[in-house]
Structure 1
Amino acid sequence: MFESSPISLYIHIPWCLKKCGYCDFYSYVSQETIPEKKYIENLLKDFEKDLKLIKNKKINTIFIGGGTPSLLKQKSVNNLINGIKERYLVCKNAEITIEANPKTIECQRFIHYKKSGINRFSLGVQTFNTNLLKKIERTYTSSECISCIKKLKTINNNINLDLMYGLPDQDLESSLTDLKYAIKYNPSHISWYQLTIEPNTIFYSKKLNIANDDIIFQMFSKGDQLLKKSGYQKYEISSYSKLNYQCKHNLNYWSFGDYIGIGCGAHGKISQKNGKILRTYKNKNLKDYLHGNYLRSMNIISKQDLAFEYFMNTFRLYKPVSKRHFQEKTNLNENYIEKKIQMAIKRGFLIDELNYWNTTKKGKFFLNSLLKIFLR
């Protein structure tokens, strides 16, 4: 007997042809043959071990991320999807996403991915400006982006385009031109987010010519207006979709739902019957992983960290946060965080309503400052 509450599955493919200077995701650069067959075999064994953690929950979404999953051959993707379905119940209408680079050699595989069960494609375009693509160390051109999008549109309706603003040497006009190109091809979903330079990236130690905060804010606000005017609904900090094309997988994350993660460096979150929440972290060492050493660590989220983890996800959404939902998902009483809620209200980040907390416009714009209030 399966429970009504679904669960998501994240699958990490760790390889890239090149590590971009701004990227802080876990990945291996490989110019050699990728051990696809062996990795898929181990992914499925990793999956089998996690099944004991998710008893009686159907898989509602699958997301294949990376790295660059579109480096995988059609046979590998087919074996992976079929292997998951053979081992556990996946909902008939499950959303199955794969991340892909808009590079010609990779987009030739898309029609085969579709046959394997992939029904949502997320293209990491970042910008349509070839010069800017070079500056952020992407491995394709603007013409390849456009060609890839056109090809994909003939295969599948559910397409996300990832775009960034605030790139090195990018001005306001260039950032809006990117959006106009994206809108022209009418994808079902657009992710529009600011480039952030993390400390553990190559770009962190470089002197980059990035626009000042005023220009960045104009990129954000004018881009936001353009997307909404073009029929895209904003439902999360950086996510815009056409009607009924929200990303179900990410919505589960942002609603503090449960998921398992398989593959090098993947992590999961599973609620226990005793009200505790379990975090799993998978081995980042590829050699160890391929020898069957999948789990790096497993721990219970402490009571002191639960509110922060919950709000870190739910405050991203453009809808009120239900107090009842907070209690159900964290097993915490509202009084436990009352002082921090009042602090957020005093700073103009939150509005306290009868059954909900609502983030203000200021709270959304200064989300990191809002979240810091809930850190232990």
Structure 2
Amino acid sequence: MASIPIATASAAAEPVAERLARYMRPGTLSLAALPPLSLYVHLPWCLKKCPYCDFNSHEQRGEADHSRYLDALNADLEAALPFIWGRRVHTIFIGGGTPSLFTPDSIARLIGDIRARLPLEPMCEITLEANPGTFERERFHGYRAAGVTRLSVGVQSFDDVKLAALGRVHDAAQARAAVDEARAAFETFNLDLMYALPGQSIAEFERDLQTALAFEPPHLSVYHLTLEPNTVFAKYPPALPDDDTAFEMLDRITAGSSAAGMTRYEVSAFARPGHRCEHNWNYWQFGDYLGIGAGAHSKLSFPHRVVRQARFKEPVQYMTRALAGHAIASDEEVPRDQLPFEFMLNATRLRDGFELARFSERTGLSLAALAAGLDAAERKGLIERDFARAWPTERGFDFLSDLQALFLP
């Protein structure tokens, strides 16, 4: 069953009160309580678009109007307040793009504007994505003073040849210096690493992995390079390692991180005790998130439905629309028969799986809606379960797409 559009770009000027009335009307779901709420803020500019990137990022040509963009974010947030009225924000994630193109003063203004409009949980995790280029790296201490509590550094590799192949604007020396500065400025931070890069051997990746682990990062996110549609790499695909080599690299990651005292708590995430990413944890548990900024997406729960929203993608158009009070380009209600798949798409990424009661709490559906998929997954050896929880097996983790597909409507 296709998703049900309840507004489109042609209806983007719909008054907030009317949109909220549609969200609150009676429906077939019955959510007993609303899940935790996170805030995602998208800052869309980069120095250069990477050839593998399919995110909504735009090369910054000349001086981008950061001040006007911050004004637009304020207007976007103001208009969204009725959708989340009375709810506390548990985590904030400032992503992009390259958010570290914004000065510490700009980030301080952004965080201050958010605090003035939303109640934040005590010790709210505030993550900022940053790149290792010298221009951005020298700002890390400033971001900490601005209120950022957690940095996510997009290193990707410590090999100059591989960084050039990925189109990154930093080199290996800058990557090492950035991680050193992140360690000095933040109590917790994440290091992003990619594997199965163009022409990469197991020995080359092992050097990358050991370099990363030598910095003793509290959190490590490791991603398999994939050729996404509508990217330069999709049009001009590089020679990538075969699947067996990629699996061997993943085995090295698992073994190496474990030996370094890190736990693989999610399919791509490894952390020391007390350092998991709480923002992503909320995603994976099918929590709610409000997304503001160009191209940002939201998932919001109401008593009788779960709604997804998308903002206008192009930065100039977004600013114009947001400042006029109409940042939402489209929204849709998630149909009943898609909710099991949407929930399991996230929950099966977690090593410890999920509490069975969480499914009904977050979707408003009976656990019977998962029964056929859980039975099939157990027969195939992809999950294990007891009376309280279900979790992916080692085989389920290795063949995660096959496991998730069992819950498609």
TMscore range, shorter length: over 0.9
Q: 2:78 aligns with which of 30, 34, 48?
A: 48
Partners in 2 of 1:110 and 1:148 — Cα distance? 9
Partners in 1 of 2:278 and 2:181 — Cα distance? 24
Code of the residue aligned with 2:127 in structure 1: it is T
Residue 285, structure 1, aligned to residue 314, structure 2? yes
More displaced 10-residue stretch of structure 1: 350-359 or 28-37? 350-359
Query: Which residue of structure 1 aligns with residue 185 of structure 2?
Result: 155
For residue 131 of structure 1, report the CA deviation from its aligned partner.
Answer: 0.6
Query: Which residue of structure 1 aligns with residue 12 of structure 2?
Result: none
Partners in 2 of 1:268 and 1:44 — Cα distance? 16
Is the Cα–Cα contact under 8 Å of residues 34 and 301 in structure 2 kept in the other structure?
no
For residue 4 of structure 1, report the CA deviation from its aligned partner.
Answer: 9.5
Is the Cα–Cα contact under 8 Å of residues 132 and 178 in structure 2 kept in the other structure?
yes
Is the Cα–Cα contact under 8 Å of residues 237 and 316 in structure 1 kept in the other structure?
yes
Residue 370, structure 1, aligned to residue 403, structure 2? yes
Residue 8, structure 1, aligned to residue 41, structure 2? no
Is the Cα–Cα contact under 8 Å of residues 13 and 65 in structure 1 kept in the other structure?
yes
Deviations 1:88-125 (A, max 9, x none): 21223110000000010111111111111001000000
SS at match of 1:357: strand
Q: Which runs of 4+ in 1 moved over 4 A?
A: none
Q: 1:90 aligns with which of 112, 120, 132?
A: 120
Residue 305, structure 1, aligned to residue 338, structure 2? yes
Code of the residue aligned with 1:198 in structure 2: it is E
Query: Which residue of structure 1 aligns with residue 146 of structure 2?
Result: 116
SS at match of 2:401: helix
Query: Which residue of structure 1 aligns with residue 350 of structure 2?
Result: 317
Deviations 1:182-208 (A, max 9, x none): 111111111112111112211012242
Partners in 1 of 2:211 and 2:327 — Cα distance? 42
Partners in 2 of 1:339 and 1:190 — Cα distance? 35
Residue 339, structure 1, aligned to residue 387, structure 2? no
Note the aligned Cα RMSD (angstroms): 1.4
For residue 6 of structure 1, report the CA deviation from its aligned partner.
Answer: 3.7
Deviations 1:57-97 (A, max 9, x none): 11111100000000001221111100001112122311000
Residue 294, structure 1, aligned to residue 357, structure 2? no
SS at match of 2:95: strand
Partners in 2 of 1:324 and 1:34 — Cα distance? 47
Residue 173, structure 1, aligned to residue 203, structure 2? yes
Bigger relative contact order, structure 1 or 2, given CA contacts below 8 A and separation 6+? 2
Q: 1:105 aligns with which of 94, 119, 135?
A: 135
SS at match of 1:8: strand
Deviations 1:265-284 (A, max 9, x none): 1011111123x111111111
For residue 31 of structure 1, report the CA deviation from its aligned partner.
Answer: 2.5
The answer for unaligned runs of 5 or more in structure 1 is none
Partners in 2 of 1:255 and 1:161 — Cα distance? 22
Code of the residue aligned with 2:156 in structure 1: it is Q
Code of the residue aligned with 2:250 in structure 1: it is F
Code of the residue aligned with 2:392 in structure 1: it is T
Percent identity between the aligned chains? 35
Code of the residue aligned with 2:310 in structure 1: it is Y
Query: Which residue of structure 2 aligns with residue 80 of structure 1?
Result: 110
Query: Which residue of structure 2 aligns with residue 204 of structure 1?
Result: 234
Partners in 2 of 1:356 and 1:150 — Cα distance? 40
Partners in 2 of 1:212 and 1:167 — Cα distance? 11
